[in-house]
């Protein structure tokens, strides 16, 4: 792989991570722009390294992708906390996992797929947070009404 192709792939991975991290950053989450950009970039670089060994005897380049998935699981687990009897950080962990997937797509040159997953993650995080907040607010109002009766 030449330097231009390498630069395009890692740049698109980092941009996808930044794009995915936008919603997390706007919501004031610790795993925001930088975290998601670096996760996407790192996973992209590891896959690109493995692609350099494509076709070699006794080499399975897909093992690196498996290790990225497992490794990101550990990072994601570090973002999950229990606070006041409530679990927090699950969405950030899942978003980090998706950023790693985006980095893998960029490394493999699957640019349309990269764009689709980036948009879909942002859409899910943004739209479903709005829906979730409305449901929580309605549940809270219902509970307050029941307790007042």
Of residues 120 and 143, the one with the higher pLDDT is 120
pLDDT average, residue stretch 58-87: 85
Mean pLDDT is lowest, of 12-21, 34-43, 138-147, for 138-147
User: What pLDDT is recorded for position 144?
Assistant: 82
- With a CB cutoff of 8 Å and minimum separation 6, the contacts of 93 are 31, 76, 77, 79, 80
User: What pLDDT is recorded for position 100?
Assistant: 97
pLDDT average, residue stretch 143-148: 82
Does residue 12 have a pLDDT over 90?
yes
Instruction: Locate 78 and state its tokens.
Output: 């570090």
Does residue 149 have a pLDDT over 80?
no
Does residue 139 have a pLDDT over 90?
no
Note down the domain range covering 45. Answer: 3-148
Q: DSSP labels for 32-76?
A: SHHHHHHHHHHHHHHHHHHHTTTT-TT--THHHHHHHHHHHHHHH
Quick one: angle between helices 3-26 and 90-107, nearest 10? 160
Domain count, the chain: 1
Instruction: Locate 89 and state its tokens.
Output: 């950080």
* pLDDT grade for 2, boundaries at 50, 70 and 90: very high
* pLDDT grade for 46, boundaries at 50, 70 and 90: very high
pLDDT average, residue stretch 129-139: 90
pLDDT average, residue stretch 73-87: 81
Distance CA 90, CA 68 (A): 19
* pTM score: 0.87
């Amino acid at each position: 792989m030449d330097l231009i192709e390498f630069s395009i792939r890692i740049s698109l991975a980092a941009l996808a991570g930044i794009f995915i991290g936008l919603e997390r950053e706007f919501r004031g989450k610790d795993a925001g722009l930088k975290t998601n950009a670096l996760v996407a970039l790192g996973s992209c670089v590891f896959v690109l390294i493995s692609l350099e060994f494509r076709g070699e005897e006794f080499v399975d380049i897909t093992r690196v992708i498996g290790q990225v998935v497992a490794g990101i699981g550990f990072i994601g687990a570090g973002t999950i906390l229990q606070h006041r009897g409530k679990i927090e950080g699950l969405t950030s962990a899942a978003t980090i996992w998706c950023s790693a997937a985006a980095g893998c797509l960029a490394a493999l040159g699957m640019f349309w797929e990269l764009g689709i997953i980036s948009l879909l993650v942002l859409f899910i995080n943004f739209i479903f947070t709005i829906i979730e907040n409305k449901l929580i607010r309605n549940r809270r109002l219902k509970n307050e009404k029941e307790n007042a009766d």
